[in-house]
Amino acid sequence: MAVENGKTVKFHYVGKLEDGAVITDSRNSSPTEGKVGSGTFIEGIEEGLLGMEKGEKKEITISPEKGFGSRRQENVIKVNKPLVEGQDVQKGKVVKVKAKDGKAYEGRVVEVGTDMITLDFNHPLAGRTLKFEVEVVDIY
């Protein structure tokens, strides 16, 4: 039986950046499981799994558009320092900011100024081409 939309699949994966740096690895834990076509996985993973058989292994290259999207400059904004008061505000750290609608959002600190902080709300993997080695464990 092959992986197809609507089927549940269990698989292991190793996710890497283009330079080969490993960013995630499921091999030392339970396999990932979900229904293909339900949006459980990023689009590139779902497309890459289609047609695979139990026990099959392959490498999937995922473009930013099929992964975590392109980097968007409008997602890099300046906020007033009081909005992140009490948090560790250092370049590279992730802080939470409450929007006017009451929802909390996480952004990575890009720059710390005297009164303002520049935060990047893009996904950390946005704009990156990814390579995933996948192995189908079960299909049902």
- Answer yes or no: CATH 2.40.10.330 is held by domain 73-120: yes
CA-to-CA distance for 126 and 27, rounded, in angstroms?
A: 24
At 2 the three-state DSSP class reads: strand
pLDDT digits (tens, 9 = 90+) for 21-45: 999 999 999 999 999 999 999 999 9
CATH topology of domain 8-69+126-139: Chitinase A; domain 3 (3.10.50)
pLDDT digits (tens, 9 = 90+) for 102-139: 899 999 999 999 999 999 999 999 999 999 999 999 99
Q: What are the structural domain ranges in the chain? A: 8-69+126-139, 73-120
This prediction has a pTM of 0.81
